[in-house]
Amino acid sequence: MDLNQSMLLLSSWIGQIGGFGLDLLWRFIHLVVSLWYIVSGIIEAVESYAISLGLNKKYSSINIAKLRCLAVVVDIEEARDVTKVIELLQWLRTIGVKQVGLFDSQGLLKKSKDLILGTIPGSMLSEEIAEKDFSPDQNRLALEFISSSDNKEAVMKAANILLQRYLTSSHPENDKGENFFTETHLNEALRVVGENVHAPDLLLVYGPIRSHLGFPAWRLRYTEIVHMGSLKYMRYGSLLKAIHKFTGVHQNYGT
């Protein structure tokens, strides 16, 4: 009886010690992981401020000519804060970016375009700049406002145009439409429905979601995609770093 009790006591002790040991290990791992995230966050912030203040010479000269067109995707929650978007555009203008596409899925920025264009000196809609043919040395910022309606909906409209052309053409019965449905034809049809088919070189995504949130698919073929975190906590240094990193990227386009 005594032996039985002592065995039970021993096993409960082992159980308690084991439970405590595993709990300790669990908390220790959580602590290590949390510390790692905190430290890496601090390092990132310090580096960003150093870049902003021009202390890091590596980022002082950027080959901005390589970045012909930049697109910014803003999460729907963050798109409500237009002042932050304006601040971002002013930074981009300072860096020397000439063409920017602004995207949010519900077109909130499209609705605020007058406010944005009125606040940023030298900014114009990209289609207006194309029409007026300004000299490249002028400090202009071409802006394009994009929403979900410019994505799949626009492709469907363009596809319908091609379909109508195909059906009204005098095609032989065995024609499978090879000559009607090509990239060139769809690009042309997209232009007809008022879409810009210019593919951005770099896409900056602001918000908690790490996807491109429905940015026009047709234009994303070889675009570099960088997730920038929240627009609320955006930093000039991080922006400069992302653009600098892009200018050093080599693409071989699958070859």
Partner 1 sequence: MLFLFSVVFTFLALFLIPGLFISRRLSVSFSLKNIIRFFKITASKYDDEEERNGKRGAMGDKEKRAMNRMPKHVAVILDGNRRWAEKRGLKTSEGHEAGARTLMENAKDCFAMGTNTISLFAFSTENWERPEDEVNCLMALFEKHFKSEMPYFQRENIRISVIGNRSKISESLLGLIEEVEEATKSYEGKHLIIAVDYSGRFDILQACKNLAMKVKDGLIQVEDIDEKAMEKELMTKCSEFPNPDLLIRTSGEQRISNFFLWQSAYTELYFPNVLWPDFGEAEYLDALTWYQQRQRRFGRRV
| Residue 153 in contact with partner 1, rule: CB under 8 A | yes
- What is the rounded distance in angstroms from the CA atom of residue 132 to the CA atom of residue 134? 6
Q: Which residues are bridge partners to 100 per DSSP?
A: 70, 143
Q: Which residues contact 162 (CB under 8 A, 6 or more apart)?
A: 180, 181, 185, 186, 189
- Nearest CA among 59, 70, 87 for reference residue 233: 87
On whether the CB atoms of residues 154 and 190 are closer than 8 A, the answer is yes
The binder of partner 1 chosen from 186, 228, 231, 234 (CB under 8 A): 186
The binder of partner 1 chosen from 115, 223, 229, 247 (CB under 8 A): 223
Question: Which lies closer to partner 1 via its Cβ, residue 15 or residue 118?
Answer: 15
The binder of partner 1 chosen from 45, 87, 225, 247 (CB under 8 A): 225
The binder of partner 1 chosen from 14, 31, 35, 130 (CB under 8 A): 14
| Contacts (CB under 8 A) with partner 1, residues 36-75 | none
Nearest distance from residue 130's CB to partner 1, in Å?
24
- What is the rounded distance in angstroms from the CA atom of residue 27 to the CA atom of residue 29? 5
- What is the rounded distance in angstroms from the CA atom of residue 161 to the CA atom of residue 167? 10
Task: Output the six-digit token pair for 197.
Answer: 């088919």
Query: Interface with partner 1 by CB under 8 A: which residues?
Result: 14, 17-18, 20-22, 24-26, 29-30, 32-33, 76-77, 105-106, 148, 151-153, 155-156, 159-160, 162-164, 166-167, 176-178, 180-183, 186, 208-215, 217-218, 220-227, 249, 251, 253-255
